Structure 1
């Protein structure tokens, strides 16, 4: 699962705002301004958070005079699964924005991504738990902070699609979040429906709707076609920086659909695509191992299932022949 994944991401954020020049640009030195522009391009065009970090690390002024640099650094750390460093950057962004209200959208973005970073922290706490009790305690504390931050975002922007979808992920127990809210799928459905009404081409909303169709609505056919649509849009470069995250979860979701369709070669191909992005993805190894067993490769399948259980003793057990 978790596979240092998470998701979920996509067009949840109003990423287009970052393509515009901000008043902070005027306070950059020229090398800094060029580094910020290069980091924006790395994140939103090339979908490469590592490259964004290389552009910005060492360029952050001390004391900082702009909020965009820590914001971009925080986003890059988030996409690289380092929620603690991401949160320190978003805190710096919010502190600077508190002194300068000239870019209200950036403050909203920092709040939103802080919520996502706490969701990631919850997911990692659950995935790397020492026990069920330990995982529940640590992850619940982080997810409660995330939900509070989503509410703060929605209080300022009631139609913020990213915050709506962040709550939907929680209530439908998305695979990269701890299962603390199973059973409130109706609430998840309402959030996703509202998000799609606001942004009909939102990739994250379509991905979550596909998960609802697959696991809760009994409509594998709709899930299959919706995931194909999301993949096509991703291949065309649609989506914000967190398309990095969404791609891996679409790969895994399509692997699960193919497994249920008993198209085991296709399921293996999708699982391999997922594992190439998430090398410690226990669920990916478990699913691929089950597929290999159905294809008569019992020993190879068992090796992968064993590896999955070493990564996560509580990994999902897929049906085997």
Structure 2
């Protein structure tokens, strides 16, 4: 117990002595604080001279680190400076070499340019002649191409007429509307009286009906069957135009024509086997409630008949009715076009 008391008394005495020593040094530290602020013995006494202990400690620590870092890094930076100097010398040497190569190249190109310039001067007259010949040939080719385009345009015009509505109408593959045809029930009907869905011989269903103005369509009699000359008929196991059949006899035009499409793409009338109308193109159409602007009134397409005049004076040559995806579709064959989806003739819905 006595030992503990003695130890405590000793510590208290030492602390008191230090405190008294510090008090005796306060005025000295205030005057010389910048000099002794980082001295380990005086750093704890920063508060006694009116300084922030934490800020003073941080500042002294950073100062010591900077002094030590400079001592360590200066030799390294010196080596980097030396390395940069070497790299700069090498770069300068390479630039000198590049300049020498550029001068050599420019000199060589100058010599080559001079030589070819002399050659070009010598060949200028010959070049002038070649240019004139090329110009002459270009004009000849231009004239030839003009003729080619003229002939090509004529061919395209002819093909357009033949393949277009007018050509299709003039080479109509149709029959006189009163041509008799037998249905599966055994009855014989006039072709104009057929309806879509009628079944012909061999279970052959009617899928389209055509009613076309017969004006200008050359007709033939084939053993009493009045049919257009362009219609295909089977002869010697080959389909040929009726006009080329040996039994065909040219006859008068019909005022109105009729034809059909069938599921089998062909059908029989009496002893003759004919192709149907679909050989001239794909089947398309618009709905029956599509409004067509006639010159006299606006009517649905199902009410239009051959001979009607459209707004714009285009004349209806034919009315076509198709069965497409179990729906009845219409289109019109006119003097100038076919009214169908996407056609230029305006449809009012």
TM-score range, shorter chain: under 0.3
* More helix as a share of residues: 1
Normalised TM-score (structure 1): 0.20
Larger Rg: 2
* More strand as a share of residues: 2
Higher relative contact order (CA 8 A, sep 6+): 1
